A and B are shown apart, each in its own frame.
Chain A
Amino acid sequence: MHGLFRWSSKWWPGIIPLVVFWGIAAWNSTAPLEADLAARSTSALKDTVLDKTRIEVSGRDVSFAADAFSEDGRRSAVAAVQAVPGVRLVNDETRLIPEAKPFVWSAERDVARVTLGGSAPLPASKGKLLEAARAALGGVEVADRMQMSRGAPPRFDNAALLLVDQIAKLKEGKITISDTEVSLSGMARDLGGREAIAAALKNLPEGFSVAANDLKAPPYVFQAYKDPVAVTLTLTGYVPDNNVHAAIAAAAGRKFFSEKVVDNLKASIGAPSGFVSAVVPALGVLSRLSTGTLVVNDREIKLSGDALYDAALTQIRASLAKDFPEGWQVKADLSVKPAAAPVDPTVCQQLLSELLARGKIRFESGRAGIDQDSAGLLDRLIETAMRCPTADIEIAGHTDADGEEAFNQALSEKRAQSVTDYLVKAGLPANRFTATGYGSSQPVASNDTDEGKAQNRRIDFLVK
């Protein structure tokens, strides 16, 4: 041992090359060592959930900065780096992401893009939401303004994913989750979209509730355009279902006796209540106009066009005031068509016969009351009668051969009288008209078939 001590006093010259070795080793190994430790630290953090992770190695000391999503996660991440072999010190610069209170997340849609904003609890849920938004929206740009925050309610991801699907059904608007309360505003893209969203909201995860649903449906539009040149009635827009569609098409067929009905209606939910009882009378008004347009926009009815004569305009205005369901607004822009030039009685007869060949005056079954659907035809008959003010006209009522002759005779007289009264009410002088009933004595077709009987039940205008 003494020898070792003695020899050691002579070991010093080797220190000189050792220092040289040390210098070379330090010079060469520092950068690879740092790179190796950085790689090992990064792989140690592979399974931890962190955001904005930054690892810097100086010598064997690691500066470790990251945003953690929970205190436990933060501690275990730091411990994982400390446990990396070769690491001497860890400068812990990690922090917890801020807690959001209330925890607000939003998805907003405008013309150009969808913006996801507010807070998301984890990078994974943020990624999932963005992916779901891109999938649901097809080619629409999705902008990400989400920040990471703690404090998300349980099952946040499921709720947000469900709402991301709903944003595709909006034309524009905003969906917000504030803690567990969901609010929606804006306008649905399609008719029925609002209802579809309301149905989907029933599937929100447990604990979530809808605080405000201010979504608006796009206007429910129904349009009818009467084209006097093409002699068509074009129906466009929406009807609630196929039954209503059939009812409206049938009503249009009855009221527009000479026009061809072009039916471009589509069935869609979301109709305002009282749709049929508003649209049918509105079509009745349109049938009395020489040319005109009917636009039903939600609960607003806009009618424009020309009535055939003054009294018709007065009658139409009166019906506009009372024939529509409560809550509906009617805006009418109506005028009277200029009176047509007078014609001689022969032409007058021809015009009247043409009108009655195209359409028939309808009555209530077995009674003398005039059916509302014949108002359009009667207006045209009246307009024509006004063009021959000097001619006297016989209104002749006819029935088919069914039933007792006395009853048919009385019915034909009453019906002829009803028509005469209608004409007089419209402003024609009563002394120009005589109402005559012929019962079934002058058939124009066989009474053996239903078709023939229908032809025999008629009112004729005979210019004297």
Chain B
Amino acid sequence: MAYLATFHWGWLLASVLLGMAMGWIAVVHRGQGVSKQTMRWLAALAAALVAAALTHVIPGRPGYWLDLGLVMLAVYLVGCAVGSWLRDWVLTRNAPSA
């Protein structure tokens, strides 16, 4: 993992920035969110993919691509969480004065 991080730091940085931007927007976004049911399915899918990556069942290049995708997704989600939390923190700090 450390090797992937050093080798792909540019793409990971892009993912985390993308995540932060998306997280920043998500807090005030008025659109329709994903339903709980879909969330569960997506979580299960992600867990299955993580399990596949950890058990090394997918060989060769597809295996590498899966690892890369999951790392980028993980970094994206972390970016989203940080972005949302930041936006929320900015909003709640500004609210009383507004």
Bound form: Cα–Cα A9–B61 in Å = 31
CA distance A25 to B73 in the complex (A): 13
Give the one of B18, B56, B60 with max A CB within 10 A. B60
| Interchain CB contact under 8 A, A85 and B80 | no
Task: Contact check, B2 vs A7: say whether CB atoms are below 8 A apart.
Answer: no
The answer on a CB contact under 8 Å between A14 and B72 is no
Indicate if the CB atoms of A25 and B72 lie closer than 8 Å: yes
- List chain A residues, Cβ under 8 A from B4: 86
**Please, which residues of chain B bring their CB within 8 A of the CB of A12?**
34
How long is the Cα–Cα vector from A18 to B88 in the complex, in angstroms? Answer: 23
User: In this complex, which of A11, A21, A33, A61 has the most chain B Cβ atoms within 10 angstroms of its Cβ?
Assistant: A11
Contact A14 B18, CB 8 Å, known A25-B11, A26-B65, A29-B68: yes
In the bound assembly, the distance between CA atoms of A33 and B88 in angstroms comes to: 39
A14 lies within 8 A of B64 (CB): no
Hey, what's the 0/1 contact readout for B59-92 against A, CB within 8 Å counting as 1? 1111111011100110011001100110010000
User: With A18-B72, A59-B65 as given contacts, are A9 and B59 in contact (CB-CB < 8 Å)?
Assistant: no
CB atoms of B64 and A30 under 8 A apart: yes
A58 to B3, CA, bound (A): 16
A138 on interface, CB distance cutoff 8 Å: no
Q: How far is the CA of A13 from the CA of B22 in the complex (A)?
A: 8
Do B19 and A10 touch across chains, with their CB atoms under 8 A apart? no
**A window 14-73: CB within 8 A of B:** 14-15, 17-18, 21-22, 25-26, 29-30, 33, 36, 58-61
Contact (A29, B8) CB under 8 Å given A12-B34, A88-B64, A89-B59: yes
In the complex the two chains form, is A18's CB within 8 Å of B65's CB? no
Q: A318 within 8 Å of B by Cβ? A: no
CB distance from A371 to the nearest CB of B (A): 101
Q: Which of under 10, 10 to 19, 20 to 34, or 35 or more describes the interface residues of B?
A: 35 or more
User: Is A88 a contact of B80 with CB atoms below 8 Å?
Assistant: no
CB distance from A50 to the nearest CB of B (A): 24
A61 touches B2 (CB 8 A): no
> Judging by beta carbons under 8 Å apart, are A11 and B27 in contact?
no
A3 at the interface (CB under 8 A from B): yes
Give Cα A18–Cα B39 distance, bound, in whole angstroms: 18
* Chain A residues with CB under 8 A of B49: none
Closest CB of chain B to A437's CB: distance in Å?
120
In the complex, A8 has a CB within 8 A of chain B: yes
| Other-chain residue from B3, B22, B39, B76 in contact with A85 (beta carbon distance below 8 A) | B3
Instruction: Report if A33-B63 is in contact (Cβ < 8 Å); known contacts: A11-B23, A11-B26.
Output: no
Near A by CB (< 8 A), chain B positions 9-54 give: 11, 14-15, 18-19, 21-23, 25-27, 29, 31, 33-35, 39
Inter-chain contacts of A21 with B (CB < 8 A): 11, 14-15, 18, 72
Set B18, B23, B73, B80: member contacting A17, Cβ < 8 A: B18
Shortest C-beta distance, A5 to chain B (Å), equals 9
Residue contact A88 to B63, C-beta cutoff 8 Å: yes
Could you tell me if B60 and A58 are in contact, using CB atoms closer than 8 angstroms? yes
B72 engages A4 (CB within 8 Å): no
| A6 adjacent to chain B (CB < 8 Å) | yes
Residue of A12, A14, A26, A89 with most partner-chain B CB within 10 A: A14
Residues of B within 8 A of A7 (CB): 23, 26-27, 80, 84, 88
State the CA gap A17–B56 with chains docked (Å). 27
Instruction: Let me know if A11 and B80 touch, CB within 8 A.
Output: yes
B73 touches A18 (CB 8 A): yes
The chain A residue sitting closest to B11, CB to CB, is: A25
Chain A contacts of B61 at CB under 8 A? 30, 58-59
A21 and B12 alpha carbons, distance in the complex (Å):
10
Q: List 26 A-B contacts (CB under 8 A).
A: A4-B85, A7-B84, A7-B88, A8-B39, A10-B26, A10-B29, A10-B31, A11-B80, A11-B84, A13-B22, A18-B72, A18-B73, A25-B8, A25-B72, A26-B64, A29-B7, A30-B64, A30-B65, A58-B59, A59-B60, A59-B62, A59-B64, A60-B63, A85-B3, A86-B7, A88-B64
User: Footprint of B on A, CB under 8 Å?
Assistant: 3-4, 6-15, 17-18, 21-22, 25-26, 29-30, 33, 36, 58-61, 85-86, 88-89
B: residues with CB less than 8 A from A are: 2-4, 7-8, 11, 14-15, 18-19, 21-23, 25-27, 29, 31, 33-35, 39, 56, 59-65, 67-69, 72-73, 76-77, 80-81, 84-85, 88
Q: Closest 5 CB pairs between A and B?
A: A9-B33, A59-B64, A14-B22, A86-B3, A58-B60
